[in-house]
Structure 1
Amino acid sequence: MQESLNAWYGDHNSGDASVSRVLSLSLAYRRGYALASRISDIGIALPLQGKASVVVSICNEEQTLPAVLSELCKLPLKEIIVVLNGCTDGSFAAIVRDPRMILVHIPERLGHDVSRALGSALSSGDIVLFCDGDMSLPAEELAAFLIAVDLGVDIALNNLTPYLPTFSGQDDVTRCKTFLNQALGRSDLGANSLTAVPHALSRKAIETLGTEALIVPPKAQALALVRGLKVSAPYSVNVVRNNRIRSGNTGEGNSVAGLIIGDHVEAFTEVMKSEGNRLRFVTYSRSELAKVRNAR
């Protein structure tokens, strides 16, 4: 199916490709192929120019992991890197067997960010998709991030804007994410961040930032923006509704929120070294400020 799609797409690609168009064409092709072959359980072929990898970070997700990996196995991936991050349950036994699987075991729990950084260092794809093992997302939605990077984006973020409350109802973490993007001249990104999955990076992004930078997602995002990488949020997946509730990520001032806010402080500190303390904000003289006030 993948080979026939590549041949068909090469003949019918009009050059005005977009994420939505390529995704809709791929899904339509799958429906037609399934109908003609009379095969109901079929994967998704994508007309990708490069090879794709996925990194899945898991910590005690034996209940959700089979469904997560089942969806990923439907995608045309070169490798599926599963990082078992301090698992003490039956997560290893729950892993779906597939020749593309690469399993990495970390005895101690080091966190999802470290797992993703390690997985990215082991990956070899031109596109690297990042997911977590605590929520199963449809392969059709994950495909959008692969397509976005294949079309030229370096970092494809999950667009969570439709699922967030207005500013007055947002928490401190969301406001930190928004302010970081605004301070670096990308207010269009809203609160979209590398701290949220799914997201995908190009090989160029990984090599430009270095895998170590991915340990602190806000810092990696800030460096990506100041270094001129192409960052966008091309697709929306509602992970807010499906996010697994844990003791450390709920309630005001919880430990996860404190960690993410600290990561943003580190991001600001890093980019101020090259961009200055004002970042992308313009410094006005007193006379210029007076003109602005008088104009009102």
Structure 2
Amino acid sequence: MKIKQRTSATSRKNKDPWVRRALKAGWRNGSVERAEAAEKKLHFYESSLQLSYVEWMNANINPRPGYALMKRLSAAYVQGFNKGKSSSENGVPLLLQGTAAAVVCASSEEDSLHNMLTELERLPLQEIIVVLNGCRDNSYMISHSHPLVTVVYYPELLGHDVGRSIGARLTGADAVLFCDGDMVIPAEHLAPFLYAVDHGCDAALNDLNGLLPLFMHQDELTHCKSFLNMALGRSDLGANSLTAVPHALSGRLIHEMDVRHLIVPPKAQALAILEGYRLEAVHTVDVFSGNRKREGNVGKGNAVADMIIGDHAEAIDEILKRRKVSGSMRSLSRMDVALQRNAI
């Protein structure tokens, strides 16, 4: 009697004809790479793995695939490439049409900074800008040891989100990924943000809605974020916000908006929506469990929470100013208020 074996998820994926083609294409290009000669040490964006993958995708896949399919093809291509070349490269090839960069803000985070930069180097980034502020450890030497990194050093603390504004001003990339140095996030979970921006999104947000408790158990910060999105007509975003990393912004948004607004992320988010830019929640990275606990960011009513609430108040104020100028908001008389209150 024959026993029917259960097919694994991996086996099912490998039965996809395009996944098999990606595997063969990777093996073929990896074999050519091995036969010719080992390439000199290159940044990943200029490596044979990244360049040959983009060339193969552009020649064979049309229209541009969604991220889920692109991810499967990328993983299969890497698997084939490593078999063909007899190597163990662990980069994450992406089908990008434009340039990409990352901005990392860090303050005395030597324990995690090296690993975070190593993950970023697995992506096809053309530059990584590390903004160090108030560091009292070995963060500068760690950052400087990574050849793709440009280090911006401030001896004193700049304050929250100031580093993002500085980094954004310094890059000219088409898609810019924003991360913090205190949390190591695998490259596979950073790639979706770059891919979304390269595909036309102006602000790719970390989708945290699925990690939140019921409304009655949410804190005041979450309520502020949800209320802001509702006021902007984007209740579909839930509590997702530019206050959370990782996220990515388009070069278009950065260049057309005064980057100083990035110092107040909720205000920058409000301005982007009001000006008609495209915002999407694209991928979930759990930043709650891995967030570094610091003095001032724990406990109810802590200093960081108060600052973020104030940022949202500033964003709401901007909305009210804009709507008053546009004439879409008018003062209500006592009769209007009574009629709305008593409406059935």
Q: TM-score, normalised to structure 1's length?
A: 0.93
Unmatched 5+ stretches in structure 2: 1-48
One-letter amino acid of the structure 1 residue matched with residue 250 of structure 2: S
Q: Comparing both chains, which one has the higher relative contact order based on Cα–Cα distances under 8 Å and sequence gaps of 6 or more?
A: 1
Q: Is 1:142 matched with 2:190?
A: yes
CA contact (8 A) 1:23 1:143 kept: no
1:165 to 1:129, Cα distance in 2 relative to 1, 3 A: same
One-letter amino acid of the structure 2 residue matched with residue 39 of structure 1: S
1:244 to 1:282, Cα distance in 2 relative to 1, 3 A: farther
CA contact (8 A) 1:19 1:234 kept: no
Unmatched 5+ stretches in structure 1: none
Greater mean alpha carbon deviation, residues 108-117 or residues 218-227: 108-117
Partner of 2:101: 53
1:39 aligned counterpart, secondary structure: coil
Q: Is 1:73 matched with 2:117?
A: no
Aligned CA RMSD, in angstroms, stands at: 2.2
Q: Is 1:271 matched with 2:319?
A: yes
2:114 aligned counterpart, secondary structure: helix
Larger radius of gyration: 2
1:283 to 1:233, Cα distance in 2 relative to 1, 3 A: farther
**CA shift for structure 1 position 21:** 2.4
Distance in 2 (alpha carbons) for counterparts of 1:30 and 1:207: 34
CA contact (8 A) 2:209 2:239 kept: yes
How is 1:119-138 mapped onto 2 (pairs within 5 angstroms)?
A: 119-138=167-186
**CA shift for structure 1 position 292:** 5.3
Partner of 2:31: none
Q: Is 1:252 matched with 2:309?
A: no
Distance in 2 (alpha carbons) for counterparts of 1:89 and 1:118: 21
One-letter amino acid of the structure 2 residue matched with residue 17 of structure 1: P
1:240 aligned counterpart, secondary structure: coil
**CA shift for structure 1 position 23:** 2.5
Partner of 1:37: 85
Partner of 1:113: 161
Cα deviation digits, residues 103-137 of structure 1 (max 9, x gap) = 00011101240000000000111000000000100
One-letter amino acid of the structure 1 residue matched with residue 264 of structure 2: V
2:178 aligned counterpart, secondary structure: strand
**CA shift for structure 1 position 6:** 1.4
Distance in 1 (alpha carbons) for counterparts of 2:108 and 2:341: 59
Correspondence for 2:216 among 154, 157, 168: 168
Distance in 2 (alpha carbons) for counterparts of 1:141 and 1:226: 29
**CA shift for structure 1 position 16:** 5.2
CA contact (8 A) 2:144 2:150 kept: no
Distance in 1 (alpha carbons) for counterparts of 2:231 and 2:328: 6
One-letter amino acid of the structure 1 residue matched with residue 254 of structure 2: I
Partner of 1:12: 60
1:244 aligned counterpart, secondary structure: coil
Distance in 2 (alpha carbons) for counterparts of 1:233 and 1:125: 21
Q: TM-score, normalised to structure 2's length?
A: 0.80
2:161 aligned counterpart, secondary structure: helix
CA contact (8 A) 1:184 1:279 kept: no
Partner of 2:12: none
1:49 to 1:118, Cα distance in 2 relative to 1, 3 A: same
